[in-house]
Amino acid sequence: MAHAVVILAAGLGTRMKSKQPKVLHPLLGKPLVGYCIETAFASGAKKVVVVVGHGAEQVRQTFAAYPNLSFVVQREQLGTAHALAQARPLLEGFPGPIVVTQGDTPLTRVETLTGLVETMRQSGAGMALLTMRLDDPTGYGRILRDAQGEILANVEEKDATPEERAIREINPGVYCFDSSLWEKLAQVDNRNAAGEYYLPDLIRIYRQAGQKVVSLESKDTGELLGVNSRAQLAEVERVLLARLRAYWMSQGVRMIQPETIYLEPSVELAPDVTLWPGVILRGHTRLGEGVEVGAYAVLSDTVVEAGGKIKSHTVCEEAYIASRADAGPFARLRPKAHLEEGAHVGNFVELKNARLGKEAKAGHLAYLGDAEVGEGSNIGAGVITANYDGERKHRTQIGKRVFVGSNSLLIAPVTLADGSFIAGGSCINQDVPEDALAIARQRQRNIEGYMKRKRTEGQKSPNEPA
34 alpha carbon, distance to own chain's centre: 12
User: From CA 335, how far away is CA 318, in angstroms rounded?
Assistant: 5
Q: Which is nearer to Ca ion, 233 or 325 (CB)?
A: 233
Among 141, 258, 369, 419, binds ligand UD1 (CB under 6 A): 141
Among 39, 131, 171, 323, binds ligand UD1 (CB under 6 A): 171
Query: Binding to ligand UD1 by residue 215, rule CB under 6 A?
Result: no
Beta carbons of 243 and 30 less than 8 angstroms apart: no
Among 27, 72, 104, 279, binds Ca ion (CB under 5 A): 104
Q: Which is nearer to ligand UD1, 37 or 83 (CB)?
A: 83
What kind and span of H or E run contains 263?
A: strand 262-263
How many residues of this chain bind ligand UD1 (CB under 6 A)? 31
Among 55, 97, 103, 419, binds ligand UD1 (CB under 6 A): 103
Query: Binding to ligand UD1 by residue 105, rule CB under 6 A?
Result: yes
Residue 182: phi and psi, rounded to 5, are -65, -40
Report the length, in residues, of the chain.
466
Among 6, 10, 16, 263, binds ligand UD1 (CB under 6 A): 10
What kind and span of H or E run contains 454?
A: helix 450-457
Query: Binding to ligand UD1 by residue 80, rule CB under 6 A?
Result: yes
Per the annotation, the verdict on 313 as an active-site residue is no
Q: Which range in 72-80, 246-254, 318-326, 450-458 contacts ligand UD1 by CB under 6 A?
A: 72-80
Query: Binding to ligand UD1 by residue 205, rule CB under 6 A?
Result: no
345 alpha carbon, distance to own chain's centre: 26
Query: Binding to ligand UD1 by residue 82, rule CB under 6 A?
Result: yes
The one of Ca ion, ligand UD1, none whose footprint includes residue 74, by CB under 5 to 8 A per kind, is ligand UD1
The residue nearest Ca ion at its CB is 226
Strands (E), 408-450: 409-411, 414-416, 421-422, 427-428, 437-438
Q: End-to-end CA distance of the chain: give it in Å, rounded.
A: 101
Query: Binding to Ca ion by residue 226, rule CB under 5 A?
Result: yes
Query: Binding to ligand UD1 by residue 156, rule CB under 6 A?
Result: yes
Q: Which is nearer to ligand UD1, 32 or 269 (CB)?
A: 32
User: From CA 240, how far away is CA 222, in angstroms rounded?
Assistant: 8
Helices then strands, each counted (H, E), the chain: 10, 38
Q: Which range in 123-131, 193-201, 306-314, 392-400 contacts ligand UD1 by CB under 6 A?
A: 193-201
With left for phi above 0 and alpha for psi between -120 and 50, is residue 425 left, alpha or beta? left
Pick from 339, 345, 399: nearest CA to 367: 345
User: From CA 100, how far away is CA 172, in angstroms rounded?
Assistant: 11
50 alpha carbon, distance to own chain's centre: 22
Catalytic residue among 3, 54, 338, 364: 364
Residues known to be catalytic = 364
Judged by the rule CB under 6 A, the positions of this chain that interact with ligand UD1 are 8-11, 23, 51, 53, 74, 77-80, 82-83, 102-105, 140-141, 154, 156, 170-173, 198-200, 226, 228
